Amino acid sequence: MNTKKRIMSGMRPTGKLHLGHYFGVLNNWVNLQDEYECYFSIADLHALTTKYNQTDDMKQNVIDVLLDWLSSGINPDKSIVYLQSLVPETAQLHIYLSMITPQNWVERDPTLKDLAKIMKDKNENMSNLSYGLFGYPVLMTADILNFNADLVPVGVDQVAHVELSRDIARRFNNIYNTDYFIEPQPKLTNVPLLCGLDGNKMGKSFNNDIKISDTDEITEKKVKTGITDTNRIRKDDKGNPDNCAVIYKYWQIFGTADETNEICFACKNAQMGCAECKKRLAQKINDKFAPIREKRIKLANNIDYVKDILNTGSNNARKRAKEVLDGAIDVIKMYK
Ligand code: TRP
Ligand code: SF4
């Protein structure tokens, strides 16, 4: 009997992943694969909630996310990797859950509220906020409950959604007088957040990210744009790493303790300029990601194999999802 606890998580296919995804979520997933039974979903339906009219890149984005996952160490022999839209049981479960979810619960969702506010402020057409978008957290709940997952490893920005999933699971159990659904819990990593090169949140739309799949040259070019101690203008100015908002923070993640101390000392004593410091940092980043990038190129050259992984994973996910859905339909007492 399988006594491992179950994990379910997902990412929207928005394009090639960056190092914020890697350290914030992906690396965490990779490390959980032995201890847990894992389901990882490429959430293409969630992408559609806001990008329903920008679907030209959808197929490529799915492949890119898959390549990033597999090269980073998501192992299809250990975990089930699947595409959300290839598991229609999730859409079915979503509709049952949507019936029992109070409308004011989804309206309270902080992410949706933010989104609505941004659109209002930008004077955008509010009809771009679709009915499906308001179902975002309910669809996420369907993803999680479809496997009766115990834990959901996500970044901080997703915790509110997982809390809502708990509430919906509990409400289902109360309404139908059952303990059918497990109340899932968020599982956070305690790694420090990797900010973007401009000091803001890393994101592809902010043009401040380094991709997992960037080449060494592009990585070096991007690192050059990183913010340093702004009081340090010339090379013989003494620097203060505590005021070095981006580059020194990266050192603390990518360097060993010894290396980071050495950088700190050289900076404080003006023994090394920022250009040199950045060049060395880029080298560290490139060294760390070299095996992942190499693997990614190999996989990209073997695309049929990669697609096969997604199809097999989706079929396996379906089997499990169907069992859980059928049980829920019984609990609701639908005619069948
Ligand atoms: N909403 C998540 C994100 O944007 C992706 C996601 C979809 C997810 N379904 C999920 C995360 C289920 C955890 C569990 O990152
Ligand atoms: Fe930052 Fe390095 Fe420049 Fe010091 S030398 S300010 S740590 S980039």
CATH number at residue 226: 1.10.240.10
Which atom from ligand 2 is nearest to the alpha carbon of 264? 7
Distance CA 22, CA 289 (A): 11
Indicate which residue's Cα is closest to atom 5 of ligand 2.
274
In a domain, 117, yes or no: yes
Distance CA 39, CA 33 (A): 9
Q: Are 146 and 232 part of one and the same domain?
A: no
pLDDT tens, N- to C-terminus, the chain (336 residues): 568 999 999 999 999 999 999 999 999 999 999 999 999 999 999 999 989 999 999 999 999 999 999 999 999 999 999 999 999 999 999 999 999 999 999 988 888 888 778 778 887 777 778 899 999 999 999 999 999 999 999 988 899 999 999 999 999 999 999 999 999 999 987 777 799 999 999 988 889 999 999 999 999 999 999 999 999 988 889 999 999 989 999 999 999 999 999 999 999 999 999 999 999 999 999 999 999 999 999 999 999 999 999 999 999 999 999 999 999 999 999 998
In a domain, 38, yes or no: yes
Q: Are 121 and 23 part of one and the same domain?
A: yes
Q: Are 188 and 318 part of one and the same domain?
A: yes
Residue 71: name the closest of 258, 302, 313, 329 by CA. Answer: 302
Which atom from ligand 2 is nearest to the alpha carbon of 232? 6
d(CA 265, ligand 1 centre) in Å: 42
- How many domains are there within the chain? 2
Site to substitute for ligand 1 among 161, 166, 189, 202, most atoms within 8 A of C-beta: 161
Write down the pLDDT at residue 18.
97
Q: Are 42 and 78 part of one and the same domain?
A: yes
Q: Are 171 and 276 part of one and the same domain?
A: no
Domain with residue 114: its CATH number is 3.40.50.620
Site to substitute for ligand 1 among 140, 147, 189, 201, most atoms within 8 A of C-beta: 140
The binding-site residues of ligand 2, defined as CB within 6 angstroms of any ligand atom, are 228-229, 232, 239, 241, 244, 247-248, 263, 267, 272, 274, 277-278
Annotate 256-290 with DSSP letters as a single string: -HHHHHHHHHHHHTT-S-HHHHHHHHHHHHHHHHH
Positive/negative CA dihedral, 82, 84, 88, 89: positive
The binding-site residues of ligand 1, defined as CB within 6 angstroms of any ligand atom, are 8-12, 41, 43, 46, 140, 143-144, 152, 154, 158
Given the structure tokens 């992943």, which residue do they identify?
17
Q: Are 117 and 224 part of one and the same domain?
A: no
Write down the pLDDT at residue 1.
58
Q: Which amino acid is at 202?
A: M
Write down the pLDDT at residue 127.
75
d(CA 257, ligand 2 centre) in Å: 16
In a domain, 209, yes or no: no
Write down the pLDDT at residue 235.
86
By residue range, what is the domain housing residue 113?
A: 6-195+302-332
In a domain, 275, yes or no: yes
Burial class (CB in 10 A: 0-12, 13-18, 19+), 220: middle
Ligand with smallest separation from the Cα of 144: 1
In a domain, 47, yes or no: yes
Positive/negative CA dihedral, 196, 198, 201, 204: negative
Would you give the DSSP letter of residue 5? P
Q: Are 16 and 58 part of one and the same domain?
A: yes
Write down the pLDDT at residue 77.
98
Predicted TM-score (pTM) of the model is 0.94
Which atom from ligand 2 is nearest to the alpha carbon of 248? 7
